[in-house]
Structure 1
Amino acid sequence: MSLKKATLFIILILLIDQLSKIYIKTHFVLGEDVEVFTWFKIFFVENKGMAWGTKLNDIFPFLSENTAKVSLTIFRIFAILGVGYWLYKTISSRGPKVLVTALIFIMAGAIGNIIDSIFYGVLFSSSNTQVATFLGKNSYAPLLHGQVVDMLYLPIWNGYLPKWIPFIGGDFFTFFEPVFNIADVSICIGFIILIFWNKTAFSKSTKEE
């Protein structure tokens, strides 16, 4: 695959991700949901941190919330630069198409979420108790302090777990509970490709390089 085609695929995934987030942000109040099927809902939440809503200061309590947020955003920027360089080198050396495809999905998803973290606080007003405005006067956070927009919710099953299950038996449980977005899906697809087609993606020649 050429660098031009890879760039076009990344832009396409980014467009789908960002258009879906902008629509949700400008049509939903935070916490609002719409049931599509019993097992699938559009549910608007905002993620302040990493996967599963974990914040960096949850792991490192000595960091303030603002410092943790900016540090995480900066780390994500460097991570994207690293993945971008890896993708460029793989394409330039005519590496395995499987690896190129996986990196395209991972990079597109990572860029999609970093756009939220860097710019959304400035581009949008708050979604708390009201529908946000785009490019309005009242931004909800400074640059680098934006929150990631999530909206895809798949409560496929919920109920009380059997009591014989250690530690969590008898607890109410929902599968699948996390709320995510198109960028998250893209990243997951990339990692799934790397896991299941590991030998093809990382052939002997690729590992040597």
Structure 2
Amino acid sequence: MPKIVDHEQRKIKIAEATWNVIVQDGLEKASVRNIAKEANMSAGSLRHYFSTQSELFAFCMQLVSDRVKNRAAQKSYDGSSLEAMETLLSEFLPIDEDRRTEMEVWLIFSSKTLVDPTLEELSQLIYDEMRQAVSTVVEGLIDIGLARGDLDKQLEIERLYALIDGMAIHGILHPDRFSVKKTQTTLQYHLKALCK
């Protein structure tokens, strides 16, 4: 009886191996040979699933995005409205090992979007999806009557998005100076500052 291979699971295994190589050794070490070794498969098998590095990196970026979206969709948003909003926005911050790895990989791949049109297009799409999540929070504060009366919705969406991105970068590049606790406290402070 022939062995049944789950091709999607195999692609995810390769993507996770790519993440591991990049996080441990840097993007420049993400060669077919090193990724195949990390995935415990041959280079030929890896090329069967991803014919180009760009294709592999696009799959890796999409996997990060999908995991964040899936986690956010499966959360139970208990507590106050502000707590629920904080829970949603925390999906984009490196506050535990999984999210830290995802954000680190995302940051590294983001630098590739400057020179790879395929990745740049995907990055724009995911940027818009994340902006929509941030918009949902700001619009939610307005809709339930918690937002300050003088709040400029569009500016606050941009400011909150920039804050989330900045905290993710600081949390990854300077975790000793911008701790998980500081990340959470800053997010809470900012959300409260948007309220009456």
Q: Same fold (TM over 0.5)?
A: no
Task: Using CA pairs under 8 Å that are at least 6 residues apart, name the structure with larger relative contact order, 1 or 2.
Answer: 1
Calculate the TM-score normalised by the size of structure 1.
0.25
The structure whose residues are more often helix, as a share, is 2
Calculate the TM-score normalised by the size of structure 2.
0.26
The structure whose residues are more often strand, as a share, is 1
